[in-house]
Amino acid sequence: MATTNSKNDQMQKTEKFKKTVGKRLRTFRKHTGLNVAGFAKKIRIGLGTLSELENGISAPSAQTLANLHLYTEINIAWLLTNKGNMLRG
């Protein structure tokens, strides 16, 4: 039974992580002034992928994180942990 509870706890943490990262990503996108299509193009991902990220359905892949770093000024540590400033400084 403890294993089931542990798995459930981990699943809940993963879901919460995806949702909070998605909210922060949406906040950053809106800060840039870009619409969904423009932002997806800027960071070189599909519209569906961005939608899934912003809605907490999926977490960003390593490639998406790399693209965010390369093509925007987002602070990846802030995106993933909510610590520090939204923008790299």
The CATH number of whichever domain residue 11 belongs to comes to: 1.10.260.40
Secondary structure (3-state) at 87? strand
In a domain, 89, yes or no: no
Q: What is the pTM of this model?
A: 0.92
Query: Is 1's pLDDT higher than 60?
Result: no
In a domain, 87, yes or no: no
State residue 3's pLDDT score: 72
If one counts the domains in the chain, the total is: 1
CA dihedral 25, 29, 30, 32 (to 10 degrees): 140
Backbone φ and ψ for 83, nearest 5 degrees, come out as -110, 140
In a domain, 47, yes or no: yes
Query: Is 81's pLDDT higher than 90?
Result: yes
State residue 5's pLDDT score: 85
In a domain, 86, yes or no: no
Give the pLDDT band of residue 37 (cuts 50, 70, 90). Answer: very high
In a domain, 51, yes or no: yes
C-alpha to C-alpha distance for 15 and 70, rounded to whole angstroms: 26
State residue 4's pLDDT score: 79
